[in-house]
C-alpha cells in the first residue's frame, strides 16, 4: 500500500490546521494515482508530527509513503527540518520506502494557479 503524506508547517490557530486536513480530504477524493490514502502531518504547533504520522502509516502496513511538503518556498523547513525528521523515521523503518516530493511552490502548476487568481 502507498500513501501520500501532506506535511504543513502547523499553526497555533486550530482553524488553520483544519484547513490542511480539509485539503487532504479533497485531495484523497480526487486521487488519480496509485496512492491509496492521504494523511496530514505538521512540522510544529499541531499534531500529528511527521514522525507520528509516518509511524502510524507503517503500523498500518503501508509499504511506501510519498511526502509532499505543503510549503511555497524551499526555506530551512523544506531543505533541512523535514528531511531530518524523515531520516529519523527511516532509520526506525529501514524496510519501508519514504520519498520526499518537491515542495508545492516548486510545482509548475503554481504558475497557472497564481495567474488565474488575478
Q: Quick one: pLDDT at residue 24? A: 97
**pTM higher than 0.85:** yes
| Domains along the chain with CATH numbers | 2-116 (3.40.50.1400)
Nine cell digits for residue 77: 523547513
Neighbours of 11 (CB within 10 A): 16
What string of pLDDT tens digits covers the 118 residues of the chain?
899 999 999 999 999 999 999 999 999 999 888 898 999 999 999 999 999 999 999 999 999 999 999 999 999 999 999 999 999 999 999 999 999 999 999 999 999 999 999 8
Q: Quick one: pLDDT at residue 32? A: 84
Angle, helices 82-92 vs 50-59, to 10°: value is 30
Amino acid at each position: 500500500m502507498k500513501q501520500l503524506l501532506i506535511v504543513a508547517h502547523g499553526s497555533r490557530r486550530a482553524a488553520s490546521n483544519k484547513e490542511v486536513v480539509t485539503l487532504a480530504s479533497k485531495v484523497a477524493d480526487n486521487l488519480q494515482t496509485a496512492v491509496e490514502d492521504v494523511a496530514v502531518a505538521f512540522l510544529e504547533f499541531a499534531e500529528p508530527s511527521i514522525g507520528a504520522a509516518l509511524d502510524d502509516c507503517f503500523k498500518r502496513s503501508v509499504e511506501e509513503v510519498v511526502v509532499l511538503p505543503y510549503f511555497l518556498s524551499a526555506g530551512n523547513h523544506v531543505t533541512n527540518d523535514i528531511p531530518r525528521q524523515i531520516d529519523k523515521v527511516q532509520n526506525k523503518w529501514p524496510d519501508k520506502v519514504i520519498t520526499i516530493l518537491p515542495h508545492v511552490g516548486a510545482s509548475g502548476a503554481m504558475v497557472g494557479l497564481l495567474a488565474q487568481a488575478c
